[in-house]
Amino acid sequence: MEGPLSNVRVIALENYLAGPVASMTMADLGAEVIKLEPPQGDLSRLTAGPNHQGEPSHFLSWNRNKKGMVLDLKTPAGKESFYDLVRISDVVINNFRPGVMKRLGADYEALKQINPRVICVNLSGMGPSGPLRDRPQVESTASGISGILSVTGEPDGQPVRPGPAISDLANALYAVIGTTAALYQREQTGVGQNVDVSLLGASVALMGYHISYYTCSGVLPEPLGSAYPFTAPYGAYQTKDGYVVLGPCWPRITRAIGAEWLIDDPRFTQTEERLKNRRELDKEIEKYLAQATTEEWLEIFHHEDIIAGPLNTVDKVIADPQVSHLNMILEIEHPLGGAVKLAGNPLMMASLDGKHTSPPTLGQHTDKVFSELLGYSDDKIRKIKEEQEGHAE
């Protein structure tokens, strides 16, 4: 795929979500991403759930536009081949626990001796140092530690995990930002550097306005369902046949639904009063919204220039004409047969050609990388594979 990162080669050692999302985003931007997997593969290949030709949907979600290569860094030949790749690459990215890359001889201190221009990007759970560095974390625990779960869900309800893996996705996107910044700086200095981003740090960063809300008021933020702490009405409201989601809309919403009397009600006149009496206001609004369908209200709200949208289920998202227009649902031919539909990349740039390749099968491009990129002979490739097979046994 052609793009602004077309001159960048990324070596990805990764599992599950945060690392794969980061490297896939760089691949979407044109980088050549070589995904190195041990003989058993990325652990997300073993996840349960739906699949395409035996390839799990979880793996398919985050691994398009990459070359897949089986390489065991715990074997001498695998380590040698990895170093050969590092010599001709720009970025090495991993989402292992702190210390793993050092034990593999693949941390920045080791790799910069091989390639002073290399940029090493590490996505960890708790960060590269500190008293809790070695505690394992996943996105749900990071969401708990960072406070995300404390403000997610319905008022007075149980904590609710956000549907998307918010902490992992934030960790991945911050990693991409750090990588592109390091690439830009390397253009000026000629040398690479080490980039660290943590699941915990990225999660806390997402809590920005909740943290300042507390530090400025001393009041603990609480779950608000689909509402917003700084304005009301706001969020998802039930209609005759579903839900409509409202953005900032006061006081025009009162005229649109025929409830102008709400403007003069002392409970709702001022912003602070509406926030204090949010539940009562929402109930009053829903009494009116129950009189018509979501589509009928959306037509009215559009005419009145009120920010509103439907609450779509995934099937409706995929069929949405605007989503389709933005090329956010990709249909990619898979090497095992058929096509897979995947969520696209929201970035639109003149330098992106819009072409995509399927997530690789395990080791799909191993021989090609060895022969075309590293110039290995058939005999050397055979010996590397035999050593890896022997080590696996």
pLDDT digits (tens, 9 = 90+) for 93-126: 999 999 999 999 999 999 999 999 999 999 999 9
Contact criterion met (CB below 8 Å) for 247 and 308: yes
- Rounded CA separation 345/380 (Å): 38
- Segment 322-339 shows an average pLDDT of 96
- Segment 337-347 shows an average pLDDT of 95
User: Which residue do the tokens 């990349």 mark?
Assistant: 345
Q: Establish whether 168 is a catalytic residue.
A: yes
Q: Which two tokens stand for residue 46?
A: 């073993």
Contact criterion met (CB below 8 Å) for 67 and 33: yes
pLDDT band at 393 (very low <50, low <70, confident <90, very high): low
pTM summary value:
0.94
Backbone angles phi, psi at 169, to 5 degrees: -65, -40
pLDDT number for residue 391: 78
Which is catalytic among the residues 42, 90, 107, 168? 168
269: left (phi over 0), alpha (psi -120 to 50) or beta: alpha
- Rounded CA separation 236/58 (Å): 29
pLDDT band at 52 (very low <50, low <70, confident <90, very high): very high
- Rounded CA separation 95/169 (Å): 13
- Segment 235-245 shows an average pLDDT of 97
User: What is the tens place of the pLDDT at every residue in 4-28?
Assistant: 999 999 999 999 999 999 999 999 9
pLDDT number for residue 353: 87
Mean of the per-residue pLDDT values for the chain? 96
User: What is the tens place of the pLDDT at every residue in 253-294?
Assistant: 999 999 999 999 999 999 999 999 999 999 999 999 999 999
30: pLDDT strictly greater than 80: yes
pLDDT number for residue 85: 98
Q: Which two tokens stand for residue 162?
A: 């956000």
- Segment 225-249 shows an average pLDDT of 96
Q: What are the start-end ranges of the H helices in the chain?
A: 18-28, 57-61, 76-87, 100-103, 108-114, 139-145, 166-189, 199-206, 208-217, 252-257, 261-264, 271-276, 278-289, 294-303, 314-319, 321-325, 366-368, 378-392
Biggest CA-to-CA distance, the chain: 85
- Rounded CA separation 171/207 (Å): 13
